[in-house]
Amino acid sequence: GENVEQHPSTLSVQEGDSAVIKCTYSDSASNYFPWYKQELGKRPQLIIDIRSNVGEKKDQRIAVTLNKTAKHFSLHITETQPEDSAVYFCAEDSGAGSYQLTFGKGTKLSVIP
C-alpha cells in the first residue's frame, strides 16, 4: 500500500528563519500532494497543494516543491512567525483520480519569538 514518510517529526526555528519539511512517497501513480496544518486543538486545514504536472507552487510565505523522479516533495515556510507554530501533515493520493489520501505522521513546528 501507499506509504508516506515525513521528516523531521519536530522542528524548532527562530522567528524570521525558514522551515523546511520533507516527505517521500512510494506510489508512482500518485499525482496529488497536499499539505495540511493543524493548530493545537483544532481541525486540520489545507494550506497548499501541488499536482504532478508542476514542480513548484508558491503562495506568499509558503511554497511546495515536487520531485517526481525522486518521489519526494517539500514544504518551505519563509519568514516564520509564531502563528506558524502547528503540526504540519503531508499527504499523497492513491492515483488514478482517486482522492483517498494517505498522510504522513506529521511535523510539529515551533517558532520561537
Partner 1 sequence: GAGVSQSPSNKVTEKGKDVELRCDPISGHTALYWYRQSLGQGLEFLIYFQGNSAPDKSGLPSDRFSAERTGGSVSTLTIQRTQQEDSAVYLCASSFSRLAGGRITGELFFGEGSRLTVL
CB distance 27 to 17 below 8 Å: no
Q: Find the binder of partner 1 among 14, 70, 83, 99 (CB under 8 A).
A: 99
In terms of CB distance, is 32 or 65 closer to partner 1?
A: 32
Beta-carbon contacts of residue 46 (< 8 Å; ≥ 6 apart): 34, 35, 36
Binding of partner 1 by 1 (CB under 8 A)? yes
Of the candidate spans 14-22, 58-66, 73-81, 95-103, the one that interacts with partner 1 by CB under 8 A turns out to be: 95-103
Q: Find the binder of partner 1 among 32, 57, 63, 76 (CB under 8 A).
A: 32
Q: Find the binder of partner 1 among 44, 66, 86, 111 (CB under 8 A).
A: 44
Going 14 to 15 to 16 to 21, the CA torsion angle's sign is positive
Q: Find the binder of partner 1 among 20, 27, 78, 103 (CB under 8 A).
A: 103
Q: How far is the CB of 16 from partner 1 (least distance, A)?
A: 27
Query: Cα–Cα distance between 83 and 63 in angstroms, integer?
Result: 17
State the DSSP string of 2-50: --EEEE-SEEEEETTS-EEEEEEE--TT--EEEEEEE-TTS--EEEEEE
Which residues bind to partner 1, rule: CB under 8 A?
Answer: 1, 6, 32, 34, 36, 42-46, 49, 89, 93, 97-106
